[in-house]
Amino acid sequence: METKNNSFLMEEPVGRLMGKYAVPCIISLLVGALYNIVDQIFIANASYLGSYGNAANTVVFPLTVIALAIAVMVGDGCCAFVSLSLGKNKPQDAGRSIGNSILLTILSSLVLCGIYLIFSSQIIAMFGGTVNEETFHHSKEYFFWISIGIPFYMFGQAMNPVIRADGSPQYAMASTLAGAVVNMILDPVFIFVFRWGMMGAAVATVIGQVVTEALAIWYLFHTKTVKISGKDFKLKREIAGRTLVLGICSFLSQISLVVAMAAINNMIRKYGAMDDIFGQTQYAQIPMAVVGIVMKFFQIVISIVVGMAAGCIPIVGYNMGAGAVKRVKELFTKLLAAEAAVGVLAFMIVEFFPAGLIGIFGASNESSYYTDFAVRAFRIYLCMVVFACVNKAAFIFLQAMGKAVASTMLSMVREIVFGVGFALLLPVFYGLDGVLYSMPVSDILTFVISVIVIAATYKQLGGRSISNDD
């Protein structure tokens, strides 16, 4: 097989490379996020589902993130490993990493699927699904079909960054886009025409995921830069271990979000029951539905932020491997500026147009309590979104440089120490609003740490004293 050289990653202007790799990655992640968001939009606008279906979607959402966390750990780790290997002119190691990553993804997805199917009721309860009987019923129905699709979903998501690392970011984008388009077409048919309810939304999603997986499999037989052979599919501890270490930050950034969401959902259930309005059975699901919608908008913002940073991983890895640290520093500067700009735009939208956002998710079918709480939730929960964007960029850039330990520690502090800690603490003093305050407080404190890390990174890049974490 004829392979292509990735030396252009060290030759083309940094800004051009950033656009070439980041834009397809952003679109891929946005499209991936749209799977769940589109489901929620159609569910919310179906009068026979409404906020009960929305709340159920919020309950199941973090459970799909667990699958995504495992997939991106393998995929992003493989992407970084491949890029570093190609930069060091070691294509054999790149091929072994891809083969091992495929096996790890298949095995882990089957195990997770089995766990979800066997312990569905207990898992739904852990994530706040018992807020009322109707929400639990919808959650269980939706979760069953989503669980069936876990192996397809994980394979497509894990192979997406691998395809980018092989030099085909446009194909990675197109494969994800194709699945999402199928989902968007089938959602209204299954929900409004067939009236399959939560099952319809889930089945549409799974069919879209199968399409993405099929396209990823096709690509693996037509790689451009890395040649994959049969021997690469033998698990090797050193290859699999290094791949997972490089991807651990991506895993923790996602899995810690799951822990935070579990804490938030349970605090909403607990303190919502104490509220004069939301303590009433007919309104009990509203806070959970609303916070889920706010998180979905934030997921769109973070998809752009992560896409910009993750899209740069092959560029950073190759230049780090080749010792071109000046180009790495230039890329870091451009990335931070772009991420901050995204944060400013998101801030303006949530502060000035929250009613318009909530209107997309079926507010016209709900009580005024739904809209009022949603407007307040958007304005409080995301008031420090600029800091959140810069923080995320710093974490991923360190990962791309091969500094997995530093990146992982920062992510853990943000998501577990601050994210979960304040989600549990602040509601004690501020009730439901305390859940909303937990996000901006966490982002402010993390930003202080990020500034120190960013300054130290610039100093290292300027002094050329870079060393990868093992």
What are the tens digits of pLDDT across the range 105-114? 999 999 999 9
Q: Is residue 2 part of a domain?
A: no
What is the average pLDDT across 250-274?
A: 86
Considering 104-108, 320-324, 392-396, 401-405, the range whose residues carry the highest mean pLDDT is 104-108
* Helix%, strand%, coil% for the chain, nearest 5: 85, 0, 15
pLDDT of residue 3: 44
Share of the chain above pLDDT 90, in %: 49
Residues 182-196 have pLDDT tens digits of: 999 999 999 999 999
Between the alpha carbon of residue 113 and those of residues 145, 200, 273, the distances in Å are 10, 19, 32
What is the C-alpha to C-alpha distance for residues 295 and 302, in angstroms, rounded to an integer? 10
**Low-confidence winner among 64-78, 135-149, 165-179, 201-215 (lowest mean pLDDT):** 165-179
Q: Which two tokens stand for residue 391?
A: 């923080």
Most confident stretch, 149-153, 293-297, 417-421? 149-153
The answer as to whether 33 is a domain residue is: yes
Mean pLDDT, residues 228-246 taken together = 89
Spatial distance between the Cα atoms of 140 and 136, rounded to a whole number of angstroms = 6
Using alpha carbons only, give the angle 55, 58, 61 rounded to the nearest 5 degrees.
150
Distance of CA 404 to the CA centre of its chain: 18
Both ends of the chain: CA-CA distance in Å?
A: 32
Most confident of 75-79, 261-265, 321-325, 379-383: 379-383
> 412 near 250, Cβ under 8 Å?
no
HSE-CB for 274 with a 13 A CA cutoff: 12
Rounded mean pLDDT of 383-396?
91
Quick one: pLDDT at residue 303? 84
**CA gap 234, 97 in Å, rounded:** 10
User: How far apart (Å, rounded) are the C-alpha atoms in residues 290 and 358?
Assistant: 8
Residue 283 located in a structural domain = yes
Q: Tokens for 103, please give them.
A: 């096996």
For residue 468, tell me if it sits in a domain. Answer: no
Q: Over the stretch 410-440, which tens digit does the pLDDT of each residue have?
A: 888 888 899 899 999 999 999 999 999 999 9
Q: Is residue 7 part of a domain?
A: no
> Distance (Å, rounded) from C-alpha 172 to C-alpha 147?
24
Most confident of the following: 14-28, 324-338, 455-469: 324-338
Write out the H or E segment, with its range, that includes residue 22: helix 14-44
In a domain, 470, yes or no: no
* Mean of pLDDT values over 331-339: 89
- Establish how many alpha carbons lie within 13 A of residue 51's alpha carbon, considering only the half-sphere containing its beta carbon: 26
- Give the C-alpha separation, 406 to 418, whole Å: 17
Residue 3 counted as domain residue: no
Q: List C-alpha distances in Å: 295 to 33, 153, 173, 260, 442.
A: 11, 21, 23, 12, 15
Cα torsion 124, 136, 277, 37: sign: positive
Q: What range does the domain containing 156 cover?
A: 15-463
Q: How many domains is the chain built from?
A: 1
Q: For 28-67, how does the pLDDT look when each residue is reduced to its tens digit (9 = 90+)?
A: 778 767 777 888 889 988 989 988 998 999 999 899 989 9
Mean pLDDT, the chain, rounded, equals 88
Average pLDDT for 261-265? 90
Which residues lie below 8 Å from residue 212, measured CB to CB, with a gap of 6+? 152, 156, 175, 176, 178, 179
Is the pLDDT at 327 greater than 90? The verdict is no
Two tokens at 77? Answer: 């780790």
Q: Does residue 330 lie within any of the structural domains?
A: yes
Q: What is the pLDDT of residue 1?
A: 38
Say which DSSP state 283 is in. Answer: G
pLDDT of residue 455: 87
Better pLDDT: 249 or 429: 429
- Read off the pLDDT of each residue in 296-323 and give the average, rounded to a whole number: 84
Cβ–Cβ under 8 Å, residues 20 and 305: no
| Window from 390-394, 406-410, 442-446, 466-470 with minimum mean pLDDT | 466-470
Measured CA to CA, the distance from residue 310 to residue 76 in angstroms comes to: 8
Alpha helix stretches (DSSP H) within 119-196 = 120-126, 133-148, 150-165, 169-188
118 secondary structure, DSSP code: H
Nearest of 45, 40, 57 to residue 265 by alpha carbon:
57
Q: Which of 7-11, 32-36, 348-352 has the highest mean pLDDT?
A: 348-352
Q: DSSP readout, 283-342? A: GTTHHHHHHHHHHHHHHHHHHHHHHHHHHTHHHHHHHHHTT-HHHHHHHHHHHHHHHHHH
pLDDT 10s digits, 445-470: 999 998 898 888 888 777 554 444 54
Residue 228 has pLDDT above 50, yes or no: yes
Could you tell me which residue, 10 or 71, shows the higher pLDDT?
71
pTM of the predicted model as reported, rounded to 2 decimal places: 0.79
In this prediction, residues 242-254 reach a mean pLDDT of 82
CB 320 within 8 A of CB 84: yes
Measuring CA to CA, which residue among 404, 470, 74 is closest to residue 251?
Answer: 74
Length reported for the chain: 470
CB 212 within 8 Å of CB 175: yes
